Amino acid sequence: MVRFGRIGSGRRVFIQNNWRIFRMIKVIKIAVSATSLLVSSLAVADGYWSNWLTNNHNGLERSIVRIQNSKVTQLQGREQPGYGIINLRLIGGTEIYPELTAWATTNQRGYIRSVSLNPSEIATGLAVKSQWGYGVVDARLLSNTNDSTWLTNNPDAETEDAEECAPGYYLTAIQVNEQAGYGVVDVRFYCGN
C-alpha cells in the first residue's frame, strides 16, 4: 500500500504494517483503523481495504460499488463545475462486453469523464487530487506498469494522495465519502485477489 502527500518522484513504496487482510466470504463488519463500518452482506474474496485517501471524514459514506466478474480497467466520473468530482464508478470486462458498477452516489449531474488503462493492464490502486473548498477534483487509476491519465485534468488541485494494492492484489471496489455542497471528498478502495 502506498501513501503520498504531494507526488514528485512518482516512486511507490509498499507499507506492509498498515494492511488489514481479511479472509472472509461474507463480511458484516469491517474494522478500518480505529473505527468500524457496517456493511450489510457484501460478499468479498480475500483482500483488504485501503485507507481513506484524503482523510476527509466530513459528509456521508456511500454504498460500496464492486466489479463482480472481471478486472477494473476503467474509471468513470461525473464532474460538476463549482463542485469537482461528484460521482465515480468502475468499469471492467471488455470493449464488447463491459461490466459497469453502479454509481457510488445518487448525484447524476455534471459531465461524464472516463479514463482507461491499456487493455493488458489491471488497476492496482487509485490516486486523487483535492482542492480546499471543493473536495476531490481529479482521479486516476494506478497499475503496475502504466497509470491512466487524469480524469478531469483540473489544474487547481492542491494535494495528491494515492495508494496501491500489495503485489498479487488488485482494485475490485470503491467507496466514496460525499459531502453536500462539495461532492466527493474522500475515496477508498478494496484490494482483492
126 in a structural domain = yes
28 in a structural domain = no
Cα dihedral 142→181→79→169 (10° resolution): 20
3 state SS of 39: strand
- For 11-15, 67-71, 105-109, 131-135, which range has the lowest pLDDT when averaged over its residues? 11-15
112 in a structural domain = yes
Number of independent structural domains in the chain? 1
**How many C-alpha atoms does 153 have within 13 Å on its Cβ side?**
4
Q: What pLDDT shows up at residue 46? A: 84
Q: Which domain covers residue 177, as residue numbers?
A: 47-192
Judged against a pLDDT cut of 60, whether residue 19 lies above it is answered with no
- For 77-81, 92-96, 161-165, which range has the lowest pLDDT when averaged over its residues? 92-96
Global pTM?
A: 0.75
- Whole-number Å distance between alpha carbons of 124 and 8: 20
- Whole-number Å distance between alpha carbons of 153 and 155: 6
14 in a structural domain = no
More confident: 149 or 34:
149
182 in a structural domain = yes
159 in a structural domain = yes
30 in a structural domain = no
CB atoms within 10 A of CB 101: 21
Cα dihedral 137→19→142→78 (10° resolution): -30
DSSP 147: P
Largest CA distance in the chain: 43
- Whole-number Å distance between alpha carbons of 142 and 136: 17
> What CATH code is carried by the domain that includes residue 159?
2.100.10.20
The residues, ordered by sequence, that sit 6+ positions from 93 with a Cβ below 8 Å of its Cβ are 69, 70, 73, 99
Mean pLDDT, range 122-146, rounded to an integer: 95
3 state SS of 16: helix
Question: What residue has cell string 497499475?
Answer: 143
130 in a structural domain = yes
